[in-house]
Amino acid sequence: MNEINRKYDVNKRDDAATSVVGEILLMALVIILVSLFAASAFDLLPGDRQSVADVSMSVNDDNTLSFWHKGGDWIAGDDLTVTMTKDSTKDILQPIETKPLVDWEGQPKAVFDLGGCYTVKLPDPIPTGEVSIRLTSSDSVLYAFDGVLKP
């Protein structure tokens, strides 16, 4: 009788370890799948974008170029650079002297934004023939001019 009681003892269960191991395996599988989906989702996020601004240029009587911000992103004034090259030689002409960045009212500004004016002095003498002028920021070309300057 003692042997029969051991076979049918309701207090002794061997299947508990199997269910715990199964739950742990299911949790591990869920964690792995969630991490894979999260890694895949990060690949779908957009990257950094370039600054975009609508800029116009005018040649002034005092041998300066004025770049006017007509719309788009604002750009830090320290990021702006103007280069001028002769198309025939592709050599960069002497450094262009910049004037303080101002807004449409003539007040000093730290950023080039809507209504802002960035003025640079042309090299002396003004180059003849075809020239290329580029107003650039650290990540994009904001304005490009290829042609002949008429003082």
pLDDT in tens, the chain (151 residues): 455 555 555 666 555 567 788 889 999 999 999 999 988 888 888 877 777 889 999 888 888 889 999 998 899 888 888 888 876 666 666 657 788 888 878 888 889 989 899 988 887 777 777 888 889 888 888 899 888 877 5
Report the C-alpha gap between 71 and 137 in whole angstroms.
15
Look up residue 121 and give its amino acid: K
pTM score, whole prediction: 0.65
1-21 tens-digit pLDDT: 455 555 555 666 555 567 788
Contact 133, 144 (CB under 8 A): yes
pLDDT the model gives residue 12: 62
Position 101, amino acid = L
CA 57, 124, 84, 102 torsion-angle sign: negative
